[in-house]
Structure 1
Amino acid sequence: MNEAFRARTVEITFLGYTGETIIGALRHHLGELLDDPGPTRRVCIRVLVPDFVQPMIVPSRVGPNGEPLDDPAVRRHREGMCQGYDHALSAFAERLNGLGRVTVESEFRLYPGIPRDKICIINRELVLHGLYDVIARPVMRLSDPEYYDPQGYRTDLNVWSARDSDDTRAAVATWNKHLDGLWSLATVPPWRQVTAT
């Protein structure tokens, strides 16, 4: 991602579970822009996360026979995580925008479904893609029930670069088209919706 932040315009599109891993990486790079933006003048960040308002099989509680049992409390917790990451990213954007050297736009949107894929597209020319282990059961505390709860940092990623070959250029174009389509169909999260008064 270091090379991406040497461009005049930086575009990051991410689809994942909560956005935790991409926000961690972006904090570092956005922090560097506070001191020295270099050639970067505009940063556009789009983050797609599941719609945790909907009943889900992942994340979910593990039933007696291994069946997924929807757990509204777990979904609310994950939604709260997404909201927190969105607010943190928005606050960083406001701080950078206030300095007037770099314009930063960031937005979270919701897609229907479970967190199956982890996809990051950087400057529309580099794609990282991996599949979450949807049946992962991380141990919290021994007294807690088991949950199906993918761990993003454990996801192996495949990489395609538009600079490598005609085949990878075509793959990158397909991923861009796919995420652009998902973005256009995705909904604005409840925490970002403004109600008329």
Structure 2
Amino acid sequence: MQVGSSQGELVPDTGRSWSDRLAVRWGRAEPTLTRLFLVAVFVVGLVAQFVKPVGDALADKVYLGGALLTVVGYVLYAEVQRLNSAHGAREEAEEALDAAVRRLDDEVQRLNSVLRPRAGEVVTPRQLEDEFEEALEAGGHVRLTAMGFTGETFAAPLKNILQGLSENRLRTVSLRVLVPDFTREIEVPGLVGADGKAGDSPEFRARLRHQTAEYESNLKYQIGRMAVARRGTLTVEFRVLHMSPSLKLYFINDDVVYEGIYDKIDLRPDPWTTGTPDRSGPETADGRLLDLIGYDSLLTRWSFDGGGHARTIIMRRRELFETLWKAARELPDAA
């Protein structure tokens, strides 16, 4: 139906039809009328039971009783239909919600792939830790590998990450760490004498051995904790090789590599030799410790999906590490 506007033009009538309004009113009134009818049936039956004239009057009204039962049956049928419709609507709503969640998850994955550092991009150690956590939380078989100084930049964050993982008994985690062999003489890190030449510092090496053993112990302690908490199965292995700790390498499975260097030198008084007689000659008396610092040094991230150059870098770094790993030996006792 159309009505005229103030300018005489015809515009559509957006009001509801008479039948629609009647259906809305009936929908509102039906529950109340149904309840009143059922109450009336109950009252009549109760009165007929105790008031003899009423009971006698209704005694032979078989058709009336049948009609009442039919009405009650209709009411029950309508209620069942309403409940079925509500259940169907709820299932449809749940399916729509599941679909929305899946779309949201796909969008989050897409954003993660966009925001994740590109191959060859310089990143911070914090981004490495985030990717450690992401890989571990994803579950499955996760292999994390590191080569560094004492294992601090690997073990310290992983200890906290492993403790916070969700329950997943099917998760298996393999950790491998390659560090210098501090049971053997080494010049860097070491002791710088008065002549500026680097030499070995047995006391400093002993301290580094204890630090490495502590990081290994912290990670191995998580083996039992993960098993008890049903967070998965963990294996930890440390190996040592006679080398200077200049390069930092971190592998996430076989497709991601982070690499960097210890790019800061720390020269400080040696507490074990300052003011004491020299052990090996006057040129190292009152020497200074030469230490390498790189906990917060920037890293370069390479991923297998970053193109041919990135894949070449990953394969070469992997070959380097595996060669050194095979040549290394188990971490000796710190004592």
TM-score by length of 2: 0.52
Please give the secondary structure, in 1, of the residue aligned with 2:153. Answer: helix
What is the correspondence of 1:88-127 to structure 2 with a 5 Å cutoff? Answer: 88-127=218-257
Please give the per-residue CA displacement for 1:123-158, whole angstroms capped at 9, x wherever unaligned: 121111112137x12547999652111112142211
What is the correspondence of 1:1-197 to structure 2 with a 5 Å cutoff? Answer: 1=131, 2-5=133-136, 6-33=138-165, 36-37=166-167, 41-133=171-263, 136-139=265-268, 145-191=287-333
**Aligned 8 A contact 1:137 1:146 in 2:** no
Distance 2:140 2:169 in 1: 5
The percentage of counterpart residues that share the same residue type is 30
Q: From the superposition, tell whether residues 71 and 128 of structure 1 become closer, same or farther in structure 2 (CA, over 3 Å).
A: same
**Aligned 8 A contact 2:255 2:303 in 1:** yes
**Aligned 8 A contact 2:168 2:230 in 1:** no
CA apart distance, 1:100: 4.3
Distance 2:185 2:177 in 1: 21
State the superposition RMSD in angstroms.
2.3
Distance 2:196 2:224 in 1: 45
Please give the secondary structure, in 2, of the residue aligned with 1:87. Answer: helix
Larger helix proportion of the pair: 2
**Aligned 8 A contact 2:191 2:288 in 1:** yes
Give runs of ≥4 in structure 1 deviating > 3 Å.
Answer: 37-40, 98-101, 138-145
Where in structure 2 are there 5+ consecutive unaligned residues? 1-130, 275-286
CA apart distance, 1:76: 0.6
Distance 2:245 2:270 in 1: 23
Q: Give the match for residue 97 of structure 2.
A: none
Q: From the superposition, tell whether residues 52 and 39 of structure 1 become closer, same or farther in structure 2 (CA, over 3 Å).
A: same
Letter in 2 for 1:27: K
CA apart distance, 1:78: 0.1
Distance 2:292 2:167 in 1: 35
CA apart distance, 1:38: 5.1
Whose radius of gyration is greater, 1 or 2? Answer: 2
Distance 1:154 1:86 in 2: 21
Letter in 1 for 2:295: Y
CA apart distance, 1:191: 2.0
**Aligned 8 A contact 1:10 1:43 in 2:** yes
149-158 or 80-89, which deviates more: 149-158
**Aligned 8 A contact 2:167 2:230 in 1:** no
Q: From the superposition, tell whether residues 7 and 165 of structure 1 become closer, same or farther in structure 2 (CA, over 3 Å).
A: farther
Distance 1:153 1:163 in 2: 27
Please give the per-residue CA displacement for 1:65-97, whole angstroms capped at 9, x wherever unaligned: 221121100001000000011011100122213
Letter in 2 for 1:56: I
Please give the per-residue CA displacement for 1:151-180, whole angstroms capped at 9, x wherever unaligned: 121422111111111210121122122212
Please give the secondary structure, in 1, of the residue aligned with 2:306. Answer: coil
